[in-house]
């Protein structure tokens, strides 16, 4: 929320609340004679009930409706407003709101003030009374129900509108908090009516007869809500775990982990460190909310900063506010950071990572939420290991172990898929096939190790020249193949000529030759064939065969170190 809105809330409260409170007092002029013990008891009961709120992102629900109903029916509007406002203050103390969230106190006081006045107005319009006369006949239940319904509806409307205009929350009439408000209201209001009837008949003793069970009901409702909340978190955690282990790329696993964690918990900053040689931590990921940020090289030693202490002591920490951990502060954690969870991630009893999450809110994380982060971090380790193994296996099956280029099996699959796409889009596709000239003589003269050096050097040159333009693969032996989407005949021929020219003009340094210890250098040339769709073929594999034919007939047989285009009956050197 902006600073301007917070100021507006405080000014509205200063203008409206004192005047309204004074006006209610002057209109009803309640007498406190012989009532102080009773009012004090009701105030204590409201304060106790406020200790057991149900906390939602839309705001807390505390179960004072029953007590406030009994107070209103017997003592009137002013006393009900007085004790309800006391309950709001007590709730804010229990919630331990931060300094920047102090605006929630006047905001909630205004909401409950308007709610109380709205409900009382309907009650009086329908002829409602106070004291023992509030309920004498069955007909008197009608204004009581109207009061309860009006306060509920008014409260919900105010919450939704304030959430929309002040908090920028999506407008939704029925959400989880609303449903819980309905459930608790239906449960608590009958108890509040019983409290009123007993108080009217028995006096102060009724507050304790009903009030103590009432407080227990509030506590049990909070515990029930927390257990439901925990079960919901555990279910979502299990679902996230299945999602993580189903991802096959390490980048996808990490992005999914962060996105789900941020949606599940009130996290503003996430730091992930990897352990280097069991001696250092290296920050590998930093997220602000859900967006990954660019990071500089950053290392931590054991015992250095918060995450370094976790690494050294091999245990997790949870802090509720900044002053608990600021002694170990690090410049990367923003000044607005308050709550913090940091924990080690183990694999085979060794720490492999440290995860630190930070929230701008004080006491943002509950104990069970720490447990959720711990469970998810273990899922993350398993998922990252699976993804790493998958990528290694996939890489081994797709790439040539010598050059790290794609192998021909992978190239064929990509060629067929790309051909279909280019055909559907009516765009060109070209293939360049090249063969190293006189490669056998290189092996015979310098040895097979030097032959491998030549192949690897040429592979690096090809990757450097082609880059993102296409796909480079090792065709077999001393042959390479290049797929060029969106390259027509002329463009692919020019690129092939650039490749040929570079090969013919650069020296390759040999380190592993068998002629002695001194380095040797040589220049190799290549014969190159080019074929393009749609000019030269109608099927994907025909591109390779035609490029091979052009290379052999138009370049090899014409003297080598040449580039040739395919033609239907013969390959002509260009």
494-550 pLDDT, tens per residue? 999 999 999 999 999 888 777 767 888 899 999 999 999 999 988 888 999 999 999
Looking at residue 570, its pLDDT comes to 46
CA-based torsion, 339, 345, 349, 350: positive or negative: negative
CA-based torsion, 215, 217, 218, 224: positive or negative: positive
Looking at residue 332, its pLDDT comes to 62
Q: Please report, rounded to a whole number, the percentage of residues in the chain having pLDDT higher than 70.
A: 96
- Going by C-alpha positions, the residue among 373, 352, 389 that lies closest to residue 250 is 389
pLDDT digits (tens, 9 = 90+) for 430-465: 999 999 999 999 988 888 888 999 999 999 999 999
CATH number at 408-573:
3.30.70.270
Q: Where are the domains of the chain?
A: 3-203, 250-389, 408-573
State the fold for domain 3-203. Answer: Arp2/3 complex 21 kDa subunit ARPC3 (1.10.1760)
Residue 296 has pLDDT above 90, yes or no: no
Give the three-state DSSP class for 333. coil
The token pair that represents 5 in the structure block: 């809105």
Residue 572 has pLDDT above 50, yes or no: no
The residues assigned a catalytic role are 478
Looking at residue 329, its pLDDT comes to 56
Question: SS3 letters for 150-170?
Answer: HHHHHHHHHHHHHHHHCCCCC
Are 320 and 339 spatial neighbours (Cβ–Cβ below 8 Å)?
yes
**Alpha-carbon distance 104 to 87, whole Å?**
14
Burial 70-90 (b: 16+ CB within 10 A, else e): bbbbbbbbbbbbbbbbbbbeb
CATH architecture of 250-389: 2-Layer Sandwich (3.30)
Looking at residue 537, its pLDDT comes to 87
């Amino acid at each position: 929320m902006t600073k301007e809105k917070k100021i507006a809330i405080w000014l509205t409260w200063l203008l409206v609340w004192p005047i309204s409170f004074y006006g209610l007092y002057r209109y009803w002029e309640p007498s406190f004679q012989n009532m102080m013990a009773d009012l004090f008891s009701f105030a204590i009961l409201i304060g106790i009930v406020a200790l057991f709120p149900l906390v939602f992102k839309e705001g807390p629900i505390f179960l004072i409706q029953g007590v406030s109903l009994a107070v209103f029916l017997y003592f009137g509007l002013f006393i009900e407003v007085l004790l309800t406002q006391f309950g709001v203050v007590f709730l804010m103390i229990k919630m331990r709101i931060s300094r920047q969230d102090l605006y929630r106190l006047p905001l909630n006081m205004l909401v409950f003030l308007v709610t109380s006045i709205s409900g009382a107005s309907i009650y009086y319009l329908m002829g409602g009374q106070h004291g023992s006369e509030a309920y004498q006949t069955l007909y008197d239940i009608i204004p009581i129900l109207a009061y309860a319904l009006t306060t509920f509806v008014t409260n919900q409307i105010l919450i939704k509108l304030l959430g929309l205009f002040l908090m920028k929350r999506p407008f939704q009439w029925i959400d989880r908090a609303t449903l819980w408000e309905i459930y608790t209201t239906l449960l608590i209001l009958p108890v509040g009516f019983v409290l009123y009837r007993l108080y009217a008949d028995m006096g102060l003793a009724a507050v304790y007869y009903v009030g103590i069970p009432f407080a227990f009901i509030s506590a049990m409702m909070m515990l029930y809500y927390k257990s439901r909340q925990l079960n919901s978190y555990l279910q979502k955690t299990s679902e996230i775990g299945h999602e993580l282990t189903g991802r096959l790329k390490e980048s996808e696993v990490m992005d999914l982990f962060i996105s789900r964690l941020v949606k599940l918990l009130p996290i503003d900053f996430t730091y992930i460190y990897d352990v280097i040689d069991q001696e250092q931590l290296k920050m590998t990921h930093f997220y602000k909310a859900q967006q990954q940020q660019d990071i500089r090289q950053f290392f931590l030693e054991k015992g250095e900063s918060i995450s370094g202490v976790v690494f050294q002591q091999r245990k997790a920490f949870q802090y509720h506010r900044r002053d608990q951990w600021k002694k170990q502060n690090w410049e990367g954690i923003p000044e607005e950071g308050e709550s913090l969870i940091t924990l080690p991630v183990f694999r085979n009893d060794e720490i492999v990572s440290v995860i630190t999450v930070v929230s701008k809110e004080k006491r943002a994380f509950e104990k069970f939420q720490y447990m959720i982060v711990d469970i998810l971090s273990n899922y993350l380790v398993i998922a990252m290991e699976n993804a790493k193994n998958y990528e290694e296996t996939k890489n081994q099956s797709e790439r040539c172990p010598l050059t790290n280029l794609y192998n021909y099996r992978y190239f064929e699959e990509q060629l067929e898929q790309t051909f279909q796409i280019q055909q559907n889009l009516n765009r060109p596709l070209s293939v360049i096939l090249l063969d190293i000239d006189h490669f056998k003589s290189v092996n015979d003269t310098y040895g097979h190790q030097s032959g491998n050096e030549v192949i690897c050097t040429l592979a690096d040159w090809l990757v450097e020249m082609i880059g993102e333009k296409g796909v480079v693969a090792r065709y077999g032996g001393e042959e390479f193949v290049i797929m060029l989407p969106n390259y027509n005949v002329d463009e692919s021929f020019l690129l092939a000529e650039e490749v040929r020219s570079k090969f013919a003009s650069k020296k390759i340094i040999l380190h592993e030759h068998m002629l002695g210890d001194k380095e040797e250098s040589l220049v190799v040339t290549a014969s190159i064939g080019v074929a393009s769709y749609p000019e030269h073929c109608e099927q994907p594999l025909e591109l390779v065969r035609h490029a091979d034919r052009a290379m052999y007939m138009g370049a090899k047989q014409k003297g080598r170190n040449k580039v040739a285009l395919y033609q239907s009956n013969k390959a002509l050197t260009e």
